[in-house]
């Protein structure tokens, strides 16, 4: 034995299956499974990983490819994670509303970027700033008593939202409108007649 393997291997063979263990709150097992197994089957189909969930909250994820197993593990962790104020996430714009944009910051969890938080200056039309499918960076600004998450956009040095091109656009987005920071251009809530945030 010592002649065949004189020392432990530094890395596992690339052909060996990769296994990840994720421990979750047993109360959240239903979120991982989903209605009729929809959520867990979606993860399996997208990553090719095998997933086993035990009653004590131990989730075993295995795959031939380490990247696939890790992707599935991160997906599971994202589903059960509770966002905290101050955290920064990156996710796609899922819906455009008259008063803002809904961003999927974690798998299956959306937050609202109110129109007043989309740009440094006043925004007349949400789609002047973002479109469905854009991947944007957002900051958790508030979580209300009902668990709804209110987000604000993270801006680059030029004051534009940090966004990647939408897959629907098929390429880079054109330069964004200069919203400016001139006096009097800030968002005036007294002029907003669209009512309170609802989503």
67-119 tens-digit pLDDT: 999 999 999 999 998 888 999 999 999 999 999 999 999 888 899 999 999 88
The DSSP bridge pattern shows strands 135-143 and 88-97 to be antiparallel
Q: Tell me the domain boundaries of the chain.
A: 18-80, 88-187
Q: Is the pLDDT of residue 161 over 80?
A: no
Query: 88-187 is classed in which CATH architecture?
Result: Beta Barrel (2.40)
User: pTM of this prediction?
Assistant: 0.63
Q: What is the pLDDT of residues 18-52, one digit of tens each?
A: 889 999 999 999 999 999 999 999 999 999 999 99
Give the alpha-carbon dihedral of 177, 181, 185, 190, to 10 degrees: 110
Amino acid 33: pLDDT: 93
Taking domain 18-80, whether its CATH number is 3.30.460.80 is answered by no
């Amino acid at each position: 034995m010592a002649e065949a393997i004189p020392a432990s291997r530094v890395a596992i063979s690339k052909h060996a299956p990769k296994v990840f263990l994720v421990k979750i709150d047993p109360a959240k097992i239903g979120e991982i499974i989903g209605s009729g197994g929809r959520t867990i089957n979606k993860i399996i189909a997208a990553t090719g990983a095998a997933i086993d969930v035990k009653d004590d909250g131990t989730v075993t994820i295995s795959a031939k490819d380490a990247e696939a197993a890790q992707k599935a593990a991160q997906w599971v962790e994202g589903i059960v994670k509770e966002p905290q104020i101050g955290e920064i996430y990156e996710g796609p714009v899922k819906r455009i509303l008259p008063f803002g944009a809904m961003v999927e910051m974690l798998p299956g969890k959306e937050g609202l970027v109110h129109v007043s938080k989309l740009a440094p200056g006043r925004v007349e039309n949400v789609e002047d700033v973002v479109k469905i499918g854009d991947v944007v960076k957002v900051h958790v600004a508030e979580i209300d008593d009902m668990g709804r998450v209110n987000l604000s956009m993270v801006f680059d040095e030029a004051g534009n939202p940090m966004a990647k091109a939408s897959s629907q656009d098929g390429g880079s987005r054109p330069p964004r409108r200069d919203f400016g920071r001139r006096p009097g251009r800030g968002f005036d809530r007294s002029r907003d007649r669209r009512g309170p945030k609802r989503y």
